[in-house]
Amino acid sequence: MAELVGYLITGVGVGCAYALLGSGLVVIHRVTRVVNFAQGGFAVLAALTVTTLLTAGLPHGLAESLAVLLATGIGLLTGMVAIGRPGTTPQAALIITLGLGVLAYAVEIFLWGDQPRSFPGLPGSTAVLGARVQTHYLLIIGVTAVILGATALLFARTDRGRALTATADDPYAARIVGIDVARMGLLAFALGGALGGLAGVLVTPVQQVSFDSDVVLVVNGFSAAILGNLTRPGLTLAGGLLLGVVQALVGGYLSTAYQTEVALIFMLGVLILRSSSARVEEVTA
Amino acid sequence: MKWIIALAAAAVVPFFLPPGQLTVYILLGLSAMAVVGLSLLMGYAGQVSLGQASFTAIGAYTAGLLAVHGVPTLLGLLAAPLVAALAAGLVGVPILRLRGHQLAFATLALQLILLSVLGDADWAGGAVGLQGLPYLSAGGFELNQDRDYACLVLAGVVLTTLIASALVRSRVGRGLRALATAPVAAGASGVPVGAYRLLVFAVSAAFAGLAGGIYAFYVGYLAPGSFPVLLSVEYVVMAVVGGLGSIAGALLGATLITLAVQLLTTLATQPGMPSYAPSVLSYAVYALLLIAVVRYVPKGIVPALLLRKGILATLHRRSS
C-alpha cells in the first residue's frame, strides 16, 4: 500500500511537469496553430541555466525564477523567428521550431557540455499515508497547481487573456475588433516558453537533463496535450498526470526500461483513435 | 544531358579522392538515397516524417542480422529494402491517417520505440549492437575496399533516382501530385488516396533501408546509437534545403549539407580547437540552414532556381 502511494505521488509529480510542458504546447497551438517542437528545449535551457546560477552563488528561488524568465524571453524569440514572417504556414513554422531546437543543442553543448546535469531541489522527505516521498515531488505538485490555476484565470478573467482566447477562436474576427493578432501569437510563445521553462526547473532535481533530453520531454508533453487535441487545457493536465502515474507504475512494478514506450504507445493510440473519430465527425458534419 | 554530366562527374570523383574523403563520399551517397525517398514522401504525399532513420536502422539490422546468422551477404543486402518497405507498409496503415504535426510526432515516436526495443533486445546485440559484420561479397568477389563501396553507393543512388523519377512520371505520380495539392478533389476524381500514400511511404522506406543495408556492410558495426533521432532530422534538413518533391533537390541538399558539415568538422578538429567544436558547429549549420531556407526560400533551392529560370525565359520570349 505504502509502495503504491509512493509510486502515485512520484507519478503525479513527474506528470505535472508533462502537463506544464503540454500546456505550453496548447497555449501556442491554440493561438497560432503552430506545434512548437522547441518546447522541450525551453525546459532544458532553463534547467541548465539554474545549474550555472546556483554555482555562481545565487540562492534557490531567485535562480529558478531568473531561469524561467530567460525561458520566457527565449519563447518570445522562438515566436519571432517561427511566425514573425507573415504568410508562414503552421507546417513551415513546425520545421522552423525543429531547427531552433537543434540550434539550442549547439548553444547548450557550447555552454554546458554534453554530460547530463542536475541540481538539488527541496531537501528531505515527507510521510504521506505511510509512504515516504521526496518533499520535492510535493513542491512540483503545489507549484503546478498554482501556476495552471493562474493561467486559467489569466485566460478567463483578464482582457489580455480574453484577447488571446478570441485570437484562438477566430483570428479574423479578433482582428476586426482591434486585437493585434500577431502580437497575441508572440505573447502565446512567451507564455509557452515560461511554462516549458518552469517544467524543466521543477523536474530536473528528480530527473537529470542533458542537451538532448528535449526530445523525450517534448514527446511526453505532446502526448499529454494530444489527449485534449492540443486545444483543451483541462484534458492536457489529465493527460500529463495519467502519463506520469502510468509511467511510475510501469517503472515500479515491471521495469524502468518500458517507461518511455508507455508514453509513446499511449500517444500513438490516442492519435489513431482520434483520427478515426475525426473522420466520422467530418462525414456527419 | 545535364544528368549524364552529373553522373559522369560523380563516377569519376571517387578515383581521385584520398581514402579519408572516400568515407565522406560514401556517407553522402547513403544520405542521398534516403533523402530522395523522404523528399518524395514530403513533397508528393505531403507527409512529414521525423522518423525516417528508423527505416535506415531496419535495413541495416536486417542485413546485419542475416549476415551474423550466415546468410549470404548479397541476400542480406536485397532483404534490407524489402523488410524496411514491409515495416513501413505495416505501420503505415494506422499512422498514415494522421496529418501534419500528428504524423511528425507519430513517426518520431515510432523511431524512439524502435531504438528502445533494439537497445533492450538480446537478439540484436542490445545497446552494444552487432559487431564484426562481414564485407559484402558477390560471386566470390569481396567488396573490401572503400572504392568498391563508393561504386556500390553510386549505383544505389542511380537506382533510387531512376525509380523515383519513374514513379513521379507514372500514373501514380500524377495521382500523387493531385493528392499533394488537393486531397479531396483527388479522391473525388478516383485517385486511391490511401493506397498511393502507403505506396510512397513504403518506397521511401525501401530507399532508406537500402542505404542502411550498404551502411551495415561498409562500417561492419551497428548499434542503436548509429541511428539517432538526429539522423532523421538531418534527412529532413537535406530534403527541405534542396526542395521538397524535387529529386535533383534531394541530391543537391544531401551534397550541400554533407560537404558543409564535413568542412566545418575539418575546421573544428584543427589543433587548438575545443573538443566540443565539431558537434556545436554541425548542429549550428543544420539549424541555421534549415531556418534560413524555410523562411526565405520556402520551396527549397532547386525549385526556386527552376522558377527563376522559368520566369526569365518567359520574359525573354515576350521581349523578343
Mean pLDDT within B21-34:
90
| pLDDT, position A281 | 46
| pLDDT, position B16 | 75
In a domain, B305, yes or no: no
A284 touches chain B (CB under 8 A): no
Chain B CB contacts of A279 under 8 Å are: 97
CB pair distance less than 8 Å for A109 and B276: yes
Question: How many Å apart are CA B13 and CA B142, to the nearest integer?
Answer: 22
Buried b (16+ CB within 10 A) or exposed e, A47-71: bbbbbebbeeebeeeebbebbbebb
- How many degrees, rounded to 5, is the angle at CA A233 between CA A175 and CA A281? 80
In a domain, B245, yes or no: no
Q: Where are the alpha helices (DSSP H) in chain B?
A: 2-12, 19-44, 53-68, 73-95, 100-120, 146-169, 171-181, 183-188, 193-219, 229-242, 247-268, 277-296, 301-319
A85 touches chain B (CB under 8 A): yes
In a domain, B209, yes or no: yes
| pLDDT, position A113 | 83
Which residue segments constitute the domains of chain A, with CATH numbers given?
A: 2-284 (1.10.3470)
Tens digits of residue pLDDT in B59-98: 999 999 998 888 888 888 999 999 999 999 999 888 887 8
CB pair distance less than 8 Å for A94 and B48: yes
Q: Compute and round to an integer the Cα radius of gyration of chain B.
A: 20
- Report the chain A residue with the minimal C-alpha distance to residue B241: A95
CB pair distance less than 8 Å for A95 and B236: yes
In a domain, B9, yes or no: yes
In a domain, B113, yes or no: yes
Mean pLDDT within B212-232:
91
Is A130 or B234 the better-scoring residue by pLDDT? B234
Distance (Å) from the alpha carbon of B41 to chain A's nearest alpha carbon? 15
In a domain, B76, yes or no: yes
Q: Report DSSP state, residue A125.
A: E
Question: How many Å apart are CA A72 and CA A57, to the nearest integer?
Answer: 23
Question: What is the number of structural domains in chain B?
Answer: 1
CB pair distance less than 8 Å for B98 and A275: yes
- Report the chain B residue with the minimal C-alpha distance to residue A267: B106
Distance (Å) from the alpha carbon of A158 to chain B's nearest alpha carbon? 31
- Cell numbers of B206, please? 525501401
The beta strand positions in B114-273, using DSSP E, are: 136-138, 141-143
Q: Report DSSP state, residue A116.
A: -
- Report the chain A residue with the minimal C-alpha distance to residue B237: A99
| pLDDT, position B1 | 64
Q: Which amino acid is at A117?
A: R
Tens digits of residue pLDDT in A120-161: 877 777 777 777 778 888 889 999 999 999 988 888 888 888
CB pair distance less than 8 Å for B291 and A113: no
Q: Which amino acid is at B33?
A: M
Is B124 or A239 the better-scoring residue by pLDDT? A239
Chain B CB contacts of A94 under 8 Å are: 48, 100-101, 104
Tens digits of residue pLDDT in B270-317: 877 787 888 888 888 888 988 888 888 888 888 888 888 877 777 777
Tens digits of residue pLDDT in A229-264: 888 888 889 989 998 998 888 888 877 777 778 778
Residue found by looking up cell 523522404 in the block: B38
In a domain, B203, yes or no: yes
Chain A CB contacts of B112 under 8 Å are: 215-216, 219, 260, 264
Residues 6+ apart with CB under 8 A from A43: A17, A21, A71, A196, A197, A199, A200, A201, A203, A209, A213, A214, A217
Range of B35's domain? 2-228
Tens digits of residue pLDDT in B135-179: 887 777 777 787 888 888 999 999 999 999 998 888 888 888 887
In a domain, B317, yes or no: no
A246 touches chain B (CB under 8 A): no
**Residue from the list A100, A113, A114 with its beta carbon closest to the beta carbon of B291:** A100
Q: Decide: B157 and B37 in contact? Cβ < 8 Å.
A: no
Provide block-wise average pLDDT over 10 residues at a time, chain A (285 residues): 84 92 92 90 93 89 92 94 82 88 90 84 77 84 91 86 85 85 90 94 88 87 86 88 88 76 82 70 42
pTM above 0.90, yes or no: no
**Predicted complex ipTM exceeds 0.95:** no
